[in-house]
Structure 1
């Protein structure tokens, strides 16, 4: 394991003249996404949902770096301490940069899928050539990196634990629970009669594993298995009598339990599971409103954060986020000012940290005056510290 660095290092951070440290509030963009009319919230439905002013939306912070054309910034996550962490590199040598300029460097990493954690960022690298996967935790306030021992089998899917850490399914059928630092909490061989389709963790730390196909309950069914927060499994159960076509995704409910989304051209919501109960119920109707957008938990079980991202067609992204009560009532929409997109990739959604910090995905922005003779490109990230506490 890599020894912690003596302290944050300073990277060459330059903020372009045209990029202010604080932004300006712009009128909310017109939505291009058809939606069902929102339900009228009850008198107390939105009482606990955070209230955000236009002044707070205008007071974002900016991290910007100019570098060579060979260096790209391509991963961002909230650091759990009111800031953001940025991964940049050239395909062989990578660097984690904290929002105020601290950095840590390592080598021979192909890619890094970042997940926001309390106090930092946890993720798994992709293997490159003969270098296996690494599980890395980056401490937000210092930029120190902790590397965990390599797994014996490839990690094939993961799910973030809302209480902190990750769940992972390995190629050999093992289900593992990692804490926020990437250290193993418990390990369990998964006893299902078909390959695992998805794994999810609810707000109490309980894990649901689903397998679809020709299961022990018959063809075209979905089999489920609950594992409690201490790693104790229940009995396999019939989760759905008819397996929906598409890719499965489990998302946590506010207090406990999980929603099942199915992606098949468009996202639909297929079922809801109460925590540790061996049966499925119908998904609530309010989920159909903006079904294509992610559904994230607000800190403290106060509701949901549902971001949207629209490509305006002029190399910029318009982003909004709907705040939703625990009961599913719409409690308003936050209009975030537009930002340059910078490349040909689709506009990505805002991220939300456990401390309520909102982070904009990183963008590689090439100035209009840049040519192909080595002029710099800019990596730019905006973030709103603890906006939704």
Structure 2
């Protein structure tokens, strides 16, 4: 089942105006305020979602049903003024339902490609782990290479391209575990959690008469979003901070309680996310603190604990969080100089 927005794609124009760090910081603050007008009491989740989009990554929202995962994804997509498609993952969803299919045109007497919902700027994969592993794997090429290959022909995807997927905890009925290779494609995994009492009361009050998404508008255009991402990519990362991120990743690969450590891809995504978080915080360079704050959401879903470590706790996520916090605390923090700009 797919849901396609009526908003047309807005390709990046040649010679689009570049943005300063201050401008990106201000636009990021506007985006956050706009999304928070719909998502009450979850500032960290909203901030992390925007971090992923600006870093050009993919976001995995994992939590129980009904806590606002899909609402956050839809609010973010609407706010950034891009083309948004939604895919409802179900057990009978086929790979071609995601990527598209070649259809024979009897008038032209040839096959023509009919694009699937993956052809959008922001793709919301709702309950991604309810689909079969074969269908889940259809996303691998698109998430890593920003392209889709169907019947031997490769089709490029839009710019920007971000998958915001939601999933229910694996112990819930009718779910399939995401393959390790696909989990590694997601830059960040976060959990929404239940709202506070005040936030829940506010939600009930505001939604008595209307859905806040109905009146939510875009605060930046697709061109501005691409320009923001270009500026984020130029954020300075000192050699000391780069070495710090690598040392944290290497520590996960030799930890006795971890069977699978952080991949080189995850180290790359950690630094990319740190650039985005730095700009959102108002910096032109990455601090070790930005790396520290991202280690758990970037590395946590990629690691695999040993059976011995899992035997001491029934909560894998809490175990990973604790191990990563120990690793970060044990890794010497470098002294860095400001950006040379």
Q: Same fold (TM over 0.5)?
A: no
Question: Larger % of helix: which?
Answer: 2
Structure with the larger strand share: 1
Point out the structure with max Rg over C-alpha.
1
Return the structure number with greater relative CO, CA threshold 8 A, min gap 6: 2
